[in-house]
Structure 1
Amino acid sequence: MTPTVVDTRQVRRHFSCHAEDYDRYALVQKRVVDELLALLRRKSPSDGPVLDVGTGTGALAASVAREFANRPLVLCDLAHGMTLHAAGQLAGALALDADAQALPFRDGRFGLLVSSSVYQWLNDLPAAFAEALRVLSPGGGLGIALFGERTLYELRTSHRRAVAEAGADHPSHAQDFPTQAAVRQALDGAGFEAIEVRSADEIEHHPDVPALLRSLKKIGAQNASSDRPAGLSSRRVMQRMAELYQQDFGGAGSIPATYQVIYALARKPLIP
């Protein structure tokens, strides 16, 4: 299967438009922030300014600011609406728009780089991690969480089956997510050391498929595949997808939605 290519323009637009709704619907993402912070707390990151990449509404940044008080904090996000929202929540932080694959900071600027629920949207993990390494000072730490290959597998499997049954000319545009092995390999290739990578599943339950899709839309987590066909999927495909989802994965009155969360901790070497 050819990996999907993410259209960053769509990612920017989707998330920017839903900054006000995000915190009400991003329940899994909130739990991920708590777990990532607990991991960072145990690692005692090195001193120096902190950079939050893809800050979203600033939930992780706010927790980091409380945990590592008196350390300068910089927030950046590809989506301008998210940058503005986060800046409004954290008046003492510097906030700007920035792409994780081309960070606008000088080499060795930060002692810690954190990120939650962002790096799965990037097309080139090795390049993005190389940028992270570049902006960290020697001995600086990286702590990130991103969604892995099992994320929303129920939805993606059902959609692909529905498209295949319909005999559509275009294959399913369901988006793929990185594997745990790919994350580790990209960190190693970028030059990080003391790499720790693990994953855990978070499961949400929704009344039905339309409720799940509405929830995803409210946080901006819509499909951003560059080869997504113009317009919406046919009503027949969407109805069949919902039927297959309920049939294969659903229970009495609800359906599960699985998120595989990959946690990664690493350090920039003291000596290049």
Structure 2
Amino acid sequence: MHQLRDKKQILRRKKIIKNTTIFIVIFLLFTLGIVSWSNDIFYKMGLPIWQSKNFIRKGIDGAGYLVKSKKIVFKENQILKKENEDLRISMLDYQILKKENEDLKELMNRKNISNDFVLANILSKPSQSPYDTIIIDIGDSFDIEVGDIVYANGDIPIGTIEKIESKLSLVSLFTNPGRKTEGIIENINSSVELLGRGGGNFEVSLPVELDIIEGTKILLPSLNPEVLAISVGVISKPNDPIKRIILNSPVNIQNLKWVEVKIN
């Protein structure tokens, strides 16, 4: 057992002496200038180490550049997205203004707006107001009065001013549920009483012998009669002397942006 231990110690000492001797020889060779790193043997020994070092360094630099590039691209992409959204909103605003301008031009061409009319913008429509009413953006600073007729598209009566405040007014439409409006049947000149049903609809009860068909117009009595309603259906029962006529307003209030108030 002691002999095996002695052998290991002897081998360890020999290895240390050998490595020390090699180190001293190499050191003396460099010190005396006998060899240098420029010699082929040492160049070939060091080349793989240098190449590995350069490869690792380039990899690290490349990874850093890639991370940095991704951050820059992401930031630029966010900026482009915001600019694109701003441009889209600007185009929408432009289209809205263009459409309003075209609507006003069409309105002016359809009917000359004289001093007898005041142009108003609709602030709230029947879907946002109680029953069949709208709110417009003109008030008591204009020469309007309760009862003044309100027109759509320049020549279609749709209601009257019901309430006036400082900067806005409430308009009650002729189709307001329960509201009664006098009218004249076109080409017959018979007077009828239209009953508002809401939702842009009217109803009228007439004798069955009175010839009313789909598309018949009911006019608002005036010096220049204007279309108030158009029949869209007839409801009658056998042996009933009275028939019900369903009518619609000529315009869809939901599609309107502007109205005109006729000053009395």
TM tier, shorter chain? under 0.3
Higher relative contact order, chain-length normalized (CA < 8 Å, sep 6+): 1
More strand by share: 2
Structure-1-length-normalised TM-score: 0.22
Structure-2-length-normalised TM-score: 0.23
